[in-house]
Amino acid sequence: MYRSAFLVLLGSLLLVPASAAPPPPAGWIDGFVIANGIRIHYWRTGGDKPVMVMAHGSSDDALCWTNFAKEFTADYDIVMFDARGHGLTDPPGQNDPSDAQAEDLAALIRELKLTKPIVMGHSMGSASAAWFAAKYPDVARAIVLEDPFLGPRRTGSGAAGGGDREQRRAQILATNNKTEAELVAECIKGAPQWGRNECEIWAPSKHLHHPNTAYASVGARPAMSELFPKMTAPVLILKADADAAVRAENGKVAALLPNGKIVHIDGAGHNVRRDRKAETVAALRAFLRGL
């Protein structure tokens, strides 16, 4: 009898995918708004607390903030949204303006009636957050940029050529078609410092990354050196590790901020918070205490 029960239990466990994504934490809610002409999906941790909005990087989605956001839910109501073409938010069109994501962020804040939110963005999300903060300098209480690109943008339209776009679309589609288990395995191999749980949260976002994001005119965005002087809110830049020369160049760009600070996180790559979570949390908490 016991052996039969054991075999039934074992069989049921084998039916559960080893890479099944962990569910969102209990109490988190999700919803949609129409903002800047599209339907935007978001997750929210809730509570009568100051608000922090988190904008993810390219090919991620809102829930990719989960492990980092949990560190701050005791003190903040955190809103994590899917950028256009990511998660459950509408895909972009071929003629979207280059400031579409910055305007999406501004419109989301208006639709949710958020007052003086702290806005944090990673990579692509940091570009959106910075442009938003430069265009609407009085809206946010503070801005946090996780490894933004600080160098000059390409001149001209900045849009990739047709062949490059189609190649990028094909690459995104190929990733869409990988199994979750394959994606988790690739993540663990490529970034073992993240840990399996982070990779299991990350993997599902790759199935929801729309190929039409290849149409985004990334190079047409203003350089940070152009945006920083217009950003009057306090700004924290959490930058990847770099040698002394690169740190010095990054510091020159950060010095253009009227009220800013840059922190290079030792040992971190582009995914600063995932590579060195404890150090990133500590740096952000120190910044928040000073607001």
User: What is residue 198's predicted lDDT score, i.e. its pLDDT?
Assistant: 98
pLDDT of residue 18: 52
Structure tokens at 100: 């579409």
Judge whether 261 lies within some domain: yes
Over the stretch 235-281, which tens digit does the pLDDT of each residue have? 999 999 999 999 999 999 999 999 999 999 999 999 999 999 999 99
pLDDT of residue 156: 45
63 inside domain: yes
Number of domains in the chain: 1
Residues of the chain scoring pLDDT < 50:
1-17, 156-159
Global confidence as pTM: 0.91
Residue 17 belongs to some domain of the structure? no
**Rounded distance between C-alpha atoms, residue 89 and residue 12, angstroms:** 34
2 part of a folded domain: no
Q: Note down the domain range covering 68.
A: 29-289
**What pLDDT does residue 133 have?**
98
Residue-wise pLDDT for 112-148, tens only, equals 999 999 999 999 999 999 999 999 999 999 999 999 9
Cα–Cα dist 272/279, whole Å: 9
Structure confidence at residue 220 (pLDDT): 83
Residue 200 is assigned to a structural domain of this protein: yes
- Please report, for the domain that includes residue 49, its CATH number: 3.40.50.1820
Residues in the chain: 291
